[in-house]
A and B are shown apart, each in its own frame.
Chain A
Amino acid sequence: MKQFFIFVKKEFFHIFRDRKSLLIIFLIPILQIILFGFALTNEIKNSNIAVLDNSKDETTLSIIQKLNASRYFKVYANLKTQADIETVFKSGKVRMVVVFPPNFKQSLLQSNKAQIQLLADASDPNTATTITQYATNIINDFQQEMNGQSKIPYQVQPQIRMLYNPQLKGAYNFVPGVMTMILILIAAMMTSVAIVREKEINTMEVILVSPLKPILFIVSKAIPYIFLSLVNLLTILIVSVTILDVPINGNIFLLMVESLLFIITSVSLGLLISNFTKTQQEAQMFSLMSLLLPTLLLGGFMFPIESMPWPLQVVSNIVPSKWFYIIVKDVMIKGLGFSQIWKETLVLVGMSLVLLFISFKKFKIRLS
C-alpha cells in the first residue's frame, strides 16, 4: 500500500513541475467550458435574412417587423427584384430569404389565405431546418394574434424551399467540413512532424552543417505532403460524388486550385509550428490544439459563426479553415464561380504569404 501512495505522490511532483502539462490540464478544460457553455451553440441568434416584399402593405410590414424583433433574425437587406435573391444567396450573407407575394393583405382578407415563401440556403441542412422552423413558428404566432382579434380563422402558409440541397443531405455540409479538416491536419501536422523528426534524430545538425540552403530544406519537406494532400483530396471527392451523392456543382478545376491554395496555407502553418517545437510529440499536440480544435469549433461547419458572441466571430477570421470552408461550399454545393469567392481566396493568399514569411524568418539555422 505504501508503495502505491509513494508512487502517486511522485506522479504529482512530475505534473506540477512541468509547466506545459499544467497548462494543458487546467487551462484547456476551463477554455472548453467557457466556449461550449457560452459561445458555441447550435441555436440561431441574429441570423441574417433578406426580405423580398412584393406587397409592402401593413400586414407584410408587421410580419417583417416581428421577424426582425425576434432574437433569431435580423433583416439584412430588403431586396427589390427576383434576381436579387440569387445574388444575395451567392454572396453568402444570408441564410434565408422571405418572399411575400403581391397583394398579400388583400389575399388574406378576401380568401383568408396567403402564402409566404421561405427560401433557405440548405448547404448546411441542419441550420436551414432550424431557421425555417423558427421562422415558421414566428409566422404561426402572428397568425394566432390575427385570429385572436377576429372570428374567421386566417391562414398564413409558409412555403419552405431548400436551395442547393433540396433533400437536406447532411453530406452536403459535412463533406466540405471533412475536406477542410483532413487537409489542414495532414498538410500542417505531418509537415511539422517531419521537420521536427530531424531535430529528434540528430540529423538536423548534420544537415545544417552542409551547403543545403534552409529554404530548399523547407520546400523539400513540404512537397511530399502537398502532393499527398492532393491525392487525399481527390479520394474524398471521388467517394463523396460516387457513394454519398454529393454533387460538384461548380468548376472542378477551380475547386482543385483553391484546395491547393489551402494546402499551401496549411503547410505554412505546419512550418511555423515546427520552428517552435522540439519533439514530434510536441509538434503533434500543438498541431492538434492549435489547428484541429479551432477548425472544428470556429470553422463554421459545426456551429454557425454568426450565432457566436462577436469576440469569437472576430477570432474565427484568423482561422484559415473558416475561409476555405466557405470556398468549398460555394464552389462545390452552390456552384459559384471565382467572382464570388475572390475575397476569401485573397484572404487565404494573404495568410499563406504571411505564414511563409514568418516561417522562413524564424527558421533556426543554429541550435539554441
Chain B
Amino acid sequence: MNAITVNNIVKKYGTKKEEVKALDDISFDVKQGELFGIIGPDGAGKTSLFRILTTLLLADSGTATVDGLDVIKDFKQIRNRVGYMPGKFSLYQDLSVEENLEFFATIFNTSIEENYNLIKEIYIQIEPFKKRRAGKLSGGMKQKLALCCALIHKPSVLFLDEPTTGVDAVSRKEFWDMLESLKQQGITILVSTPYMDEAALCNRVALIQSGKIMIIDTPNNIVSAFKGQLWAVRSASMYRLLNDLKNYSNTLSCNSFGEFHHLLLKHNDVGEKDILDFLHQQQHTNIELKKTQPNIEDCFMQLMD
C-alpha cells in the first residue's frame, strides 16, 4: 500500500470572474518510507497540496489517501496519526522549548519519554536551551524544535511544508541530514521546498509550477531525461557573454548559473570549436568552455518552457 496517493486533485480560489487554479489535476504516489520532495517556487501550489493531504482543506475535485485512509471521509483518523509542520513554524512563542514539546506530546496522547529515541538526535542540539522561550530562538533552533514537535508521537507519515525557507544555509544542511536519518527509521516524509538544490537529497521529487506537476522521478532520472547537451561557459565579462550567447544563432537557451552560464544549442552537430570561434569573434577573453551535466534547476527551467 502506498503511504500517500493523490488522484486528479483540483483546487481553485477566487470568484468565478477571477478564478485561480492553485492545483490543476495533480496526481502522484508516495511509497512507504520514501523521502519525497515537492519542488517549486512560491505560488506553485505546494501549501494548498499539503493542506489537502493533511485534511485541512477540501479539494474541488479528485481524491487522495494517506496511509490508505481517505482525506475527506477518514480525516479524523488521519489527524490522529500524521505529523505536520506548516510553514513559518507554528510554535508558541511565549512557551519554552520544553513546554512546547510537552504540549504537543500530550495533545497526541503520548509523552516526551515514550518516543524520545526518535527525536533524540535533533533534541540534543536544542536541549541546552530547553528553558528558553521559543520566541527567543534563532531560525535554525525553531526549525529543530518544530520538527521535534511534529515527530514526538511517532507519526507514520510526516508532512513538512517549506521547513527550510527563511533559515540560514548551515541549518538548512543540518535539517536535511536529520531527515535522512529519520528516513532510516521508516517514516514516510513528504517535504516541499523552493530550493532546487535540495531536490537532490530526496528519493524522488515532483517538480511543480503554477499548479501543475511537470515531472515525477528520482533526481538522477530527471537529470538523465534532460534533452540535449549542456555546455558551461565563462569569460572575463559575464554579463556581455550572456547577451552575446543569447544572440548567437545556434543558441536554444542560455541561462546564468552563478560561476558559469549554461548553454543549450539548437543542434548537436555544433561543437566546441564553433562556440569558441564565436566567442573569440565577440572578443571574449579568459574563456572556459566545457560540457557539463545539468542540475535540477536546469531541468526545471527546460520543463517550464
Contact of B92 with A209 in the complex, beta carbons under 8 Å: no
Question: Please, which residues of chain B bring their CB within 8 A of the CB of A82?
Answer: none
Chain B residues positioned under 8 Å from A368 (CB to CB) = 57
Chain B, residue nearest A207 (CB): B107
**Contact between A208 and B92, CB atoms less than 8 A apart:** no
Our pick among B80, B86, B93 for the contact of A206 (Cβ within 8 Å) is B86
Q: Quick one: closest B residue to A202, CB to CB?
A: B90
A201:B108 contact, CB within 8 angstroms: no
- Write out, one digit per residue, whether chain A residues 331-368 have a CB within 8 A of any chain B CB (1) or not (0): 00000000000000000000000000000000001111
Closest residue of chain A to B106 (Cβ to Cβ) is: A212
Query: Given that A201-B93, A203-B91, A206-B90 are known contacts, is A211 also in contact with B109, CB under 8 Å in the complex?
Result: yes
B79 interface residue per 8 A CB criterion: yes
Return chain B residues, CB-CB under 8 Å to A110: none
Digitize B16-54: 1 where CB-to-A-CB distance is under 8 Å, 0 elsewhere. 000000000000000000000000000000000001001
Taking the complex as formed, is A84 at the interface, i.e. its CB lies under 8 A from any CB of chain B?
no
Contact A210 B79 (CB under 8 A): yes
- Which residues of B in the span 45-89 have a Cβ within 8 Å of any Cβ on A? 51, 54-58, 75, 78-80, 82, 84-89
A366-B55, A366-B56, A367-B57 are known contacts. Are A209 and B79 too (CB-CB below 8 A)? yes
In the bound complex, do residue A209 and residue B55 qualify as a contact, i.e. CB atoms below 8 Å apart?
Answer: yes
Give which listed residue, B54, B91, B93, contacts A209 with CB less than 8 A: B54
B58 touches A206 (CB 8 A): no
- Complex Cα distance, B248 from A18, in Å, reads 51
CA distance A223 to B51 in the complex (A): 30
A203 engages B90 (CB within 8 Å): yes
Which residues of A have CB within 8 Å of B107?
Answer: 207, 210-212
Q: Which residues of B contact A211 (CB under 8 A)?
A: 79-80, 107-109
The verdict on A205 contacting chain B, using a C-beta distance below 8 Å, is yes
- Say what secondary structure dominates the interface of chain B: loop
Identify B56's interface contact among A201, A203, A209, A212, CB under 8 A. Answer: A209
- Assess the B57–A208 pair: CB atoms within 8 A: no
Closest A residue to B88 using CB positions: A202
Task: Name the CB-closest residue of B to A204.
Answer: B90
Residues in chain A near residue B93, CB distance under 8 A? 201
Check A206–B84 contact: CB distance below 8 A: yes
Q: Is B231 an interface residue (CB 8 A)?
A: no
> B104: CB under 8 A from chain A?
yes
A265 to B104, CA, bound (A): 30
Contacts of B86 in A (CB 8 A): 202, 205-206
Q: Check A209–B82 contact: CB distance below 8 A.
A: yes
Q: Which of B56, B78, B149 contacts A205 (CB 8 A)?
A: B56
How many angstroms from the CA of A117 to the CA of B92 in the assembled complex?
66
Interface size on B, residues (CB 8 A): 27
Complex contacts, A207 vs chain B, CB 8 Å: 107
Residues of chain A within 8 A (CB-CB) of B87 are: 202
- Which residue from chain A places its CB closest to the CB of B89 in the assembled complex? A202
Please give me the residue from chain B that is nearest to A366 by CB atom.
B56
Within the complex, what minimum Cβ distance (angstroms) separates A215 from chain B?
13
CA distance in complex: A206, B149 (Å): 10
B84–A209 CB distance below 8 A: yes
Residues in B whose Cβ lies below 8 Å from that of A210: 79-80, 104, 107-108
Beta-carbon contact of B90 and A205 below 8 Å: yes
* Min distance, Cβ B22 to any Cβ of chain A, angstroms: 13
Question: Smallest CB-CB separation from A212: which chain B residue?
Answer: B107
How far is it, in angstroms, between the C-alpha of A212 and the C-alpha of B57 when the chains are bound?
Answer: 18
Nearest A residue (CB) for B86:
A205
Minimum distance in angstroms from A364 CB to a CB of chain B:
10
Within B113-154, the residues touching A (CB, 8 Å) are 149-150
For B79, give the chain A residue with the smallest CB separation: A209
- What 1/0 flags go to B91-110 for Cβ under 8 Å of A? 11100000000001001110
CA distance A196 to B51 in the complex (A): 19
- A210-232 residues with Cβ-Cβ distance < 8 A to B are 210-212
Shortest A196–chain B CB gap in Å is 15
Interface contact A201-B51, CB-CB below 8 Å: no
Nearest-Cβ distance from residue B117 to partner chain A, whole angstroms: 21
**Contacting pair A366 B57 (CB below 8 A):** yes
Output the nearest chain A residue to B81 by Cβ-Cβ distance: A211
* A212 / chain B contacts, CB cutoff of 8 Å: 107
| Shortest Cβ distance from residue A162 to the other chain B in the assembled complex, whole angstroms | 52
- Interfacial chain B residues near A202, Cβ < 8 Å: 86-90
**Best-buried of A202, A205, A366, A368 by chain B (most CB within 10 Å):** A205
Look across to chain B and name the residue whose beta carbon is closest to the beta carbon of A205.
Answer: B86
Q: How far is the CA of A140 from the CA of B266 in the complex (A)?
A: 110
B8 CB to nearest chain A CB (Å): 20
Mind listing 16 A-B residue pairs with CB under 8 Å? Answer: A202-B88, A202-B89, A205-B54, A205-B86, A205-B90, A206-B84, A206-B90, A209-B79, A209-B82, A210-B108, A211-B109, A365-B75, A366-B57, A366-B58, A367-B51, A367-B56
Which residues does A use to contact B, with CB under 8 Å? 201-212, 365-368
Report the 3 A-B pairs with minimum CB-CB distance, sorted nearest first: A202-B90, A203-B90, A211-B80
Given contacts A203-B90, A207-B107, 16 further A-B contacts (CB under 8 A): A201-B90, A202-B89, A202-B90, A205-B56, A205-B90, A206-B104, A206-B150, A209-B55, A209-B56, A209-B84, A210-B104, A210-B107, A211-B80, A211-B107, A366-B58, A367-B51
